[in-house]
């Protein structure tokens, strides 16, 4: 596949279309970061910088941060922020899915939204807000950490603590 004289793989061609579809120019840094995100769902920015620079040493960390910001702004990537952890990035967007987070090692897994449409939970009292989104984080211990045993962490094996981390909405005027 040829585009502007550069040999592109099928995957790169697909990503180039995705970038153009949201009004972003197709650049090597953007393609590289999309590559990294595809390989490492729920990676933090530092991990993405390291991986992107391993493939393209000329990329500056600032360039990678800039790409991440642009991808999130245009809806090609999603940024999640589990409490106490750095922001994590993923390509799975716009499906209202939620996350399981391991308290011990920070492992993150996707959970399909039971309802599939935002907001999937109704607050007992909306306090006059119009709620348009509910992000749910299920905290617990991943399988590996249950096997390893985690003294000091008072979560029974298999238990998942539920917390509706955040609801966002605009107040009614």
Q: Which of 141, 116, 121 is nearest to 132 (CA)?
A: 121
The site map against Zn ion for 73-102 (x = CB under 5 A) is -----------------x-----------x
Q: How far is CA 65 from CA 9, 10, 70, 119, 122, in A?
A: 25, 26, 9, 29, 35
Question: How many of the other CB atoms lie within 10 Å of CB of 47?
Answer: 15
| Residues binding Zn ion: number (CB under 5 A) | 10
Contacting residue, 1, 54, 105, 157, with Zn ion by CB under 5 A: 105
Residue 50 CB, shortest distance to Zn ion, in Å, is: 20
Q: State the residue number with the nearest CB to Zn ion.
A: 120
As measured in angstroms, the least distance from the Cβ of 92 to Zn ion is 5
**Pick from 19, 36, 37, 142: which binds Zn ion (CB under 5 A)?**
142
Q: Which stretch binds Zn ion (CB under 5 A): 3-11, 62-70, 135-143, 159-167?
A: 135-143
Contact between residue 9 and residue 32 where contact means Cβ atoms under 8 Å apart? no
């Amino acid at each position: 596949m040829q585009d502007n004289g550069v040999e592109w793989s099928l995957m790169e061609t697909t990503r180039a279309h995705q970038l153009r579809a949201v009004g972003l120019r197709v650049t090597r840094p953007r393609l590289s970061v999309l590559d990294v995100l595809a390989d490492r769902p729920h990676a933090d920015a530092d991990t993405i910088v390291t991986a992107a620079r391993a493939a393209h040493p000329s990329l500056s960390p600032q360039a990678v941060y800039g790409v991440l910001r642009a991808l999130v702004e245009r809806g090609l990537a999603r940024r999640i922020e589990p409490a106490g952890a750095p922001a994590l990035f993923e390509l799975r967007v716009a499906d209202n899915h939620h996350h399981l987070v391991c308290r011990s090692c920070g492992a993150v897994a996707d959970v399909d939204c039971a309802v599939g449409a935002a907001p999937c939970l109704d607050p007992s009292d909306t306090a006059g807000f119009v709620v348009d989104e509910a992000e749910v984080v299920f905290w617990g211990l991943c399988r590996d950490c249950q096997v390893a045993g985690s003294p000091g962490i008072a979560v029974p094996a298999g238990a998942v603590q539920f917390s509706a981390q955040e609801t966002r909405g605009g107040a009614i005027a």
